[in-house]
Amino acid sequence: MRLDGFADTSFNIGTGANARVSAVLVQPDGKVVIAGAFTTFNGVLRNRIARLNADGSIDAAFNPGTGPNGDITSLALQPNGSILVGGSFLSWNNLNFQRVVRINALGGLDTAFSAASFNGGVLALALQPDGKVIVGGGFTTVDGLNRPRIARLLADGSLDTSFSSSSPNATVRSLALQADGKVLIGGDFTSLSIFGRARLARLNSNGGIDTSFLSNVGANDAVHAVKLDASGLVLIGGDFTEYGNTTRGRLARVLTTGGIDATFNPSGGANGIVYVVKAQPDGKLVIGGEFTHFNGVPRRGLARLNVDGSVDSGFNAGVGLAPSATISSCGVVDLLIEPSGKITVVGVFGSYDGIARNNILRLNADGSLDTSFQPGSGADDVLVSVDRLSDGRYVIGGLHNTYDGVARPDVTRLLANGAVDTTFGNTIGVTGGSVQAVKFESNGSVWIGGSFSTVGGVNCKSIAHLGPNGALDSTFVNTTGFGLANSATVDDIARQADGRILLVGAFSSYAGSARRGVLRILPSGALDSSFSPGTGAASGIADVVLLPDGKLLLGGGFESFDGQATDGIIRLLPNGSIDPTFNTQNSNTNAGVFSVDVLADGRVVLGGQFSMIHGERRHGVARLKIDTTKTYCVGKVNSAGCVPAIGTNGATPSYVNGGFVVTCTNALNQRSGLLFHGSTATAVPFQGGTLCVAQPVRRTVVQSSGGSVSGNDCSGTHAYGFTTAEFNAAALLPGDIVFCQWWMRDPASPSTTSLSNALRFSVML
């Protein structure tokens, strides 16, 4: 492969190896030694080891003879060109050599190397400057002496008994030598002797365990490769998805102390949990959570991303969030973007850019602290939810007891400047749990959800309605719908325009009816039985977004909904059933979704703890392509009595792939026509029909409809492909919305023209 990532066509291996290649060694002269399980290479007999010239052809001068009787898994090059070989073989050229040999530069067996015998496979070799060889694998003895999985050989191949046995409890798969003589080992082990070491460890030069390298909570699965970078940090690769309880998709960088290097996230994204993601009108995303970096850029708990997913450097957070003196945790749990572009943030923190702000703050649109919002001493404990009224007042929910020194436990209403709204007189709070969600009504009353059992001393399980003065609303009658003894939790609330309330969370029933994870209630608290989600979510739902068409978008930790497989994301119809047009396999996340939002073009953005989605690496934040293609407006009856119908080839209108085609059927045969498109819809009389796309418009080239070669019928069709070139020529970018309509000649019509109905679509990435 070339440096630019494309295949190097000058390196031609023909048909290549006929079986697995497990080890590759590049010599200083550019030749390549390969080894593994193969028996031929490009049709030439080569038993498990071969050398290739720089152009990929077999080096005929390299002749290993009959070679090994088992697979080769490791290679190491000595300064004189000799090659150390390790594997599972028991003989070489029919001579007894158990799992390690040395061959000369031409492939011949070096019998002067009296290799020790290993009782199990050798998977890794590392050559020291003094000629000694570190060996790792699945063996437990060497020359009959106890040496579980790690050993050192002297320069002549015999066992070095001065090298201590550190006794890894499982296979060693990889080795790396430090300049100071210490040895890094990776593999399947979880301990060395009495010391816990999770699949990565460091040994002193004498083989003893380096207790200063703390990898007790290291990788959660096998480490297959260990390398040192130029700065001395450790790069590891393997089957793991976490290192040090931090999400890392099979590749990580480790500090010299054994801890995770939080600044290195090779798959991009957040290096910790994303609890909330919100879309700005311009398509940028504001994210909050418990991360310290995004795409390797320092951003503690809060960041803004450009449309392409890169960190927005114009969002000036200074030194960002820092923990308080009393709580070591630091992060954002919820945020909202105001119409002015300002951003209100709640969570657990003590300052922002060096200025004291306890658990709540407001930012200007550029990320700087809005000093006109003055919360005083703020909340004395974690805040988990915030909402805003159109008049600028806020409601916050969480674990706090006071706000700016005023007793307002769990739920507090604030004035627009951040001060306590004393007209909202909540002084008792909740018991038996916490407040997880708050949602305003337009009159200043507040819906609250969580895991609580009482509100203001009154039995009220997990959902309640507080009046504009903060008192419990007595008209909300079903205050025990979840059952006081149950462990139900409401994690989010959405209010419909008709006053009905959507609740999501971790619960299984309401008012005696099965409802798993999502339900809808009437303003009185009664269950809305017209909303039927079937068997619901297999586990908790964390977030709900009510879409303009009445559909619901849900995100959570579930793996199925109403018996249908889906990982973490689902869209429902207004009646609660699954929306069949939304591909529930589209997400396929490997961990929980905590937040969902929708861009103006209909694309869905997700935030959570996942590191993979739909088979691609995405740490904490992802965007889904949601095709919003749909027809609208009405076509005009043509002279043959047909209404031309606009359609598509079913492809996604992708800016990158460019395979989207807009079609027209029921068109007059053998007539010319064109497609015109613009950025605005309309519906005005035009040439005896309806013009569905407003000026200005872009017109495509004229084309013939084909169809019957004579007569006047509706066998004609049209098609126009929106290639990447067309998107560029029309200055259309991902996220843009396009409206289009077909116009055709119809000489027999009074206006001599014909029109189809219209199509709306969003340009996807």
**CATH number, position 695:** 2.60.40
Whether residue 556 contacts residue 539, with contact meaning beta carbons closer than 8 Å, is answered with: yes
Residue 735 within any structural domain of the chain? yes
The candidate with the shortest Cα–Cα distance to 609, out of 621, 597, 617, 625, is 621
- Cβ atoms of 297 and 646 closer than 8 Å: no
How much is the average pLDDT of 274-280? 88
pLDDT of residue 414: 96
Quick check: 585 pLDDT over 60?
A: no
In a domain, 141, yes or no: no
Cα dihedral 434, 441, 277, 620 in deg (nearest 10): 30
Instruction: List the one residue out of 552, 622, 551 whose CA is nearest residue 586.
Output: 622
- Binning pLDDT at 50, 70 and 90, where does residue 1 land? very low
Which of residues 482 and 618 earns the better pLDDT score?
482
Two tokens, residue 589: 């996340």
The count of domains in the chain is: 1
Give the pLDDT score at 2.
38
Domain contains 703: yes
pLDDT of residue 628: 67
656 assigned to some structural domain:
yes
Between the two ends of the chain, the Cα-to-Cα distance in Å is 27
Of the pLDDT bands very low, low, confident and very high (cuts 50, 70, 90), residue 230 is confident
Which residues are bridge partners to 440 per DSSP? 446
585 lies in some domain:
no
- Tell me, yes or no, whether 71 lies in a domain: no
Task: Say whether pLDDT at 210 is over 80.
Answer: yes
Assigned domain for 719 exists: yes
Beta carbons of 642 and 630 less than 8 angstroms apart: no
As a whole-number percent, the residues of the chain with pLDDT over 70 amount to: 94
Q: Tell me which DSSP letter residue 525 carries.
A: S
User: In terms of pLDDT, which residue wins out, 248 or 722?
Assistant: 722
The DSSP 8-state label assigned to residue 116 in this structure reads P
Tokens matching residue 284: 């940028």
The contacts of residue 39 (CB under 8 Å, 6+ apart) are 18, 19, 45, 46, 47, 48
User: If you count them, how many residues does the chain have?
Assistant: 765
Residue 15 belongs to a domain: no
**Cα 250 to Cα 23, 78, 231, 297, 463, distances in angstroms:** 19, 30, 21, 20, 42
d(CA 151, CA 172): 11
Could you list the residue range(s) of the whole structural domain that residue 726 is in? Answer: 630-762
Task: Judge whether 681 and 760 are in contact, CB under 8 Å.
Answer: yes
The pLDDT of residue 282: 86
Q: Look at residue 672 in the predicted model and tell me its pLDDT.
A: 97
Whether omega for the bond prior to residue 696 falls within 30 degrees of 0, making it cis, is: yes
Answer yes or no: is pLDDT of 256 > 70.
Answer: yes
Residue tagged 């309330």 (tokens):
501
